[in-house]
Chains A and B, each alone.
Chain A
Amino acid sequence: MRLADQLYLIAHEERTGRSRVHPRAAGLGLAAGLVGELMLLGRVTMDGGELRVVSREPPGDALAHHVLDLLVAQWQHRDLRTWLAFLAQDAIAKVGERLLRAGAVEAVVRRRFMGPTQTTYLPVNADQRNAAVWAGVRLANLLVEQGGGLAPAEGVLAGLVLATGLTRHVLWDFPLHRPGLANLHTAVEFLPAELRELVEHTQTSVGAVLAAGRR
């Protein structure tokens, strides 16, 4: 399962589809997840807070391809913080749609009182819910058992969990998960430089958004 997909399932309640963190924090985390996917695929690198496209070869996934196309077309923007803010605007819906295509969630349309309809993507049957919960449990297990030496793909997921404030939803069992917490920090510390930078920028953006206190 892809980086942003896992983060989506961790960041949303499996029963209601509500975001576990401030919606803007979740959006920024998923935006960082989408950028992180391109980094893991070797299409994009980062240096000094700026993104650089190193390969325009289309990734196999439609959403990743879409993001890469945007990065190529809007090449005058390289600042990662700008891209995070931009992608965060619809990252939740975009990743939800991708999960829908993969069969991991269903689209549930609700009409709010006097408001527009709202589409939420959430797991509805037992298998989907199991898989959704597993995303978090799996990461917790990895952090407790494997310690800080995670693969980059898992490490950056752990970092984005930390950056968006989801730590205690993943490592919720205090005595059991206690070693996982220290390992989480180690895992981020030993990420490849560009991925660590991605995590740090995400954390900074999340902090700024929370401090401003806007929806």
Chain B
Amino acid sequence: MARPDTAGPDIVSRSLASNRLGVPSVVFFGVAGAAPLTVVLGAITTIYAVLGSTAVPLSYLVAAAILSLFTVGFVAMSRHIVNSGAFYSYISHGLGRVAGVGAAFVALPAYSMMQIGLFGLFGVVASGVAGAAGYHLSWFVCALAAWALVAVLNLLWVDLSGKVLAVLLVSEITIVLIYDAVMIANPAGGAVRVDMLAPTAMLSPQAAAMLVLAIAGFVGFEATVVLSEETKDPKRTVARATHWAVLIPGLLCGASAWAMAVNAGPENIVATAREHETDLVFALVSPHVPAILVQIGYVLFLTSVFAALLAFHAAVARYQFALGREGILPSAWGRTQPRTGAPLLGSLTQSVLALGVLIAYASSDADPLVYLFAWLTVVGGLGVLILMWAASAAVVAFFARHRRRENAWRSTVAPAIAFLLLSGVLAATVVGLGDMLQVAPDSPFRWLIPPAYAGVALLGFGWGLVTRLARPDVYASIGRGAGGGAGGARPVSPAPAGTPAPLLPPTEEEFPCATPSGTMPSGTMPSKTW
């Protein structure tokens, strides 16, 4: 280089860092999708009511422990493949591109169902709040209003990830901690009991299956790696933030579930939960706190579910955008609204699907809390669990091929343990799914869901194979994410001389606005071809 001596002040790094995200922002982004208040007030109470088990607090702590182990290998792998961060890209790097397409096919309905399920929760809670204020609105009307707002805000790509989200999240966590303190300070029978935290409770098959419900409360923590190129230090910021994004909801939800059981008494918690449903926490704390705190809680509950709806919607749309850019979905999905960068078609698709499901539920008159919220989030949660399980296998396989200077704990031990544990959870879930959905023994839903996911995955494998044969250039770039380039420090290595890499297949018919990543030369991919 031109100057051999040490340089002056590092203007570039300083200037870039000032504009980039630190650990807290990334944690906010990751936890926002999980929306702790939604989980505490909506999911935990529903799990108590539907499953009738007292091992709920423990299941959140165990789930957090398993996911922490998983995160060790996950972020280690993310250091070597910087891209849009979706699970399927990890799977295609670790287990091959065909498996990656299968994972993408599982991911789409899974995330989509979880988002739609949240509308059920929002509708019920909003109609309850409106009822208390003297307006009688059905859950459907409330859900529809939320739907319209989410659809419009996401088309405009309104960025809630900034200060609004941070303020909401901090107030949510604060109110949860206040409620927890109140509940623990007023234990049933006058003594704080910890016997529901005994590890033996986790040994029953039902408790193991409950882990899938707990894991559904962590959805979104993997989104932190999306921001790796936006962080001050991609190698460390994302790793720390992802661990926090697992630990914070885990501890918060575990503590809250325990506090509920302490306050109501372990013997009564299930009956109380069945009586009050999503109002459980409010019913438990209202004798001990001023009414304003309960009212604030209701408002924050609504905003929390709404923020989760927005975050999920954006995640689904972004997933479709990444797949469209890679050429797995038609390239139209890879386009964005030019000015805002909103992934138009992905956003519209999810809105239309959600509207269809909402109308179907409204016309069938099914209980929105059980059949819309609980069912769809459980079924979607199973899909996410399948993705996590496959991703943990991908981490093992990725580092088995090449250690890449990660130590043995990160590259081998933790991923292997996480894979084994997730396999156990997945197996228990598949076995216990019928009980979780509370369906009759002869109902087809008892066995239909896992084969349906298997079918979707097989469809994905088939599509992957077709792509490999028909469009090898598209196939080569699968798993690169929306960015297109794969590697970390050196995203794209030069094409070999004489073989110019076209940016787009020349047969591209339409006018691509945001072009698919196309056929970046695959120099940074592991040399093995699948």
Contacts and interface: CB of A to CB of B under 8 A. Distances in A.
Interface string A146-178: 000000000000010011010110010010000
A40 B229 CA distance: 29
A178 B189 CA distance: 79
B230 interface: yes
Contacts of A102: none
Given A165-B513, A207-B514, A19 B339 contact: yes
B161 interface: yes
Given A20-B339, A86-B12, A190 B500 contact: yes
Interface size band for B? 35 or more
Interface string B57-90: 0000000000000000000000000011000000
Interface in B207-232: 226-227, 229-230
B13 A77 contact: yes
Interface in A72-129: 72-79, 81-83, 85-86, 89
A199 B484 CA distance: 12
A49 B226 CA distance: 22
Contacts of B157: 213
B500 A208 contact: no
Contacts of B494: 47-49, 193, 197
B483 A167 contact: no
A167 B511 contact: yes
A25 interface: yes
A153 B226 CA distance: 34
A79 B485 contact: no
A70 interface: yes
B3 A214 contact: no
A59 to B, nearest CB: 15
A174 to B, nearest CB: 8
Contacts, number: 172
A86 B16 contact: yes
Contact of B503 (A19, A89, A162, A210): A162
A171 B511 contact: yes
A188 to B, nearest CB: 5
A73 B7 contact: yes
Interface stretch (A2-10, A30-38, A135-143, A179-187): A179-187
Contacts of A74: 7, 10-12
Given A185-B508, A214-B227, 9 more contacts: A21-B338, A73-B8, A75-B7, A162-B515, A167-B515, A204-B492, A207-B482, A207-B483, A211-B321
Interface of B: 1-3, 7-8, 10-13, 15-16, 19, 83-84, 157, 159, 161, 226-227, 229-230, 314, 318, 321-322, 325, 336, 338-341, 481-485, 489-495, 497, 500-504, 506, 508, 511-515, 517, 520
11 contacts: A19-B339, A20-B339, A49-B491, A70-B12, A75-B3, A76-B7, A167-B513, A185-B508, A186-B506, A189-B500, A211-B321
7 closest cross-chain pairs (CB), A and B: A211-B482, A208-B483, A204-B485, A22-B341, A168-B511, A75-B1, A207-B483
